[in-house]
Amino acid sequence: MDFGFKLSPSSAVNLDTVDRRRYDRLVQLQPDALTCIGCGSCSATCTSASWTGMSVRKVLLGLQRGRDEEVDKMLSGCMLCGKCTMVCPRGINTRQLILTLCRLDKNGEVVR
């Protein structure tokens, strides 16, 4: 029956069922990822953010929530300019973190 409106898909994330293998492998290879405080300085300074949607902060959040497709889309917009690395208050080498992440598949295996 068409009521003229319908249910919206839920945006709730069930952390018990999320596949975090890629994030766990990243942390193994780049332990700096654990020190991120999510301040967003990297996103604020990102050159490509405004037209590609790239955001290192959102990449890490997306990985923790198992949203690999969104993460890959964002990573494809990165120009590896390294400005995010220069502004990170925790001194995380975000450029190296992105390069490492691009080498991992969804299962956390190094493929490149």
Q: Which residues bind other proteins (CB under 8 A)?
A: 1, 3-8, 10, 12
Count of CB atoms situated within 10 Å of the CB of 39: 13
Smallest distance, other proteins to C-beta of residue 14, A: 11
According to DSSP, the residues that pair with 110 across neighbouring strands are 104
Smallest distance, other proteins to C-beta of residue 18, A: 17
Decide whether 8 or 50 has the Cβ nearer to other proteins. 8
Decide whether 3 or 51 has the Cβ nearer to other proteins. 3
Tokens of 102: 């691009």
Tokens of 22: 């890629």
Smallest distance, other proteins to C-beta of residue 16, A: 13
Cβ pair 66, 18 in contact under 8 A: yes
